[in-house]
């Protein structure tokens, strides 16, 4: 029986951390993917501030 799997103290913690850490890493990579977008050669195209500026 696989009862030991849900019964052993510690395995639950491992599941919590495994799920948590993998989600965390996935999210971090998503952020990193956005961050590392190469900037345009022409800074005119950047829209980090309002269009009214230009």
Partner 1 sequence: MTRWGMVIDLDKCVACQSCTAACRMENNTPVAGKNQADMGRTILWNEVLPLANSESPDASEMLIPRPCMHCDDPPCVKVCPVQATYRTDEGVVLINYDRCIGCRFCTVACPFQVRYFNWFEPEWPEALKAHLNPDPEVAPRPRGVVEKCTFCVQRLRKARETAQAEGRPFSATDYVPACVETCTAHARYFGDLDDPNSLVSQLAASPRAFRLQEEMGTKPKVYYLKQG
Partner 2 sequence: MTSIPSRESELERIVLAPLRRTSKQFYVVLAGLSLVVLLGAAALANQWRLGLGVTGLNRPVYWGVYITNFVFFIGISHAGTLISAILRVTQAEWRRPITRIAEAITFFALIIGMLQVWIDMGRPERIIFPFIFGRFQSPFLWDFTCVGVYFMSSMLYLYLPLVPDLARLRDRMTDAPRWRHWLYTVMSFGWHGNAEQHRRLEIAIGIMAIVIIPVAVSVHTVVSWIFGMTMQPMWHSTILGPYFVVGAIFSGIAMLFLFMTLLRRAWHLELWIGEKQYNYLGILLLVMSAFWGYFTLAEFLTTGYSTITNETAVFHAKLLGEYAPAFWAMVTANLVIPFAVLMRRQGRKPLGTFIAALSVIIGMWIERFLIVAPSLTRPSLGFMPAVYTPSLTEVAITAGSFALFALLFLLFFKVFPAISVWEVEEGQAVEAVRQKARELAHEGAQPALRS
- What are the residues binding partner 2 (CB under 8 A)? 5-17, 19-20, 23-24, 27, 30-31, 33-35, 37-40, 45-53
Q: Does 20 bind partner 1 (CB under 8 A)?
A: no
Contact 11, 5 (CB under 8 A): yes
Per partner kind, with CB cut-offs from 5 to 8 A, the member of partner 2, partner 1, none near residue 25 is none
Tokens coding 22 = 């993998």
Helix-then-strand count for the chain, H and E: 2, 0
Report the nearest approach of partner 2 to the CB of residue 8 (Å).
7
């Amino acid at each position: 029986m696989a009862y030991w799997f849900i019964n052993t103290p510690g395995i639950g913690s491992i599941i919590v951390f495994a799920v948590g850490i993998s989600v965390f890493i996935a999210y971090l990579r998503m952020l990193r993917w956005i961050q590392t977008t190469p900037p345009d050669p022409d800074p005119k195209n950047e829209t980090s501030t309002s269009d009214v500026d230009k």
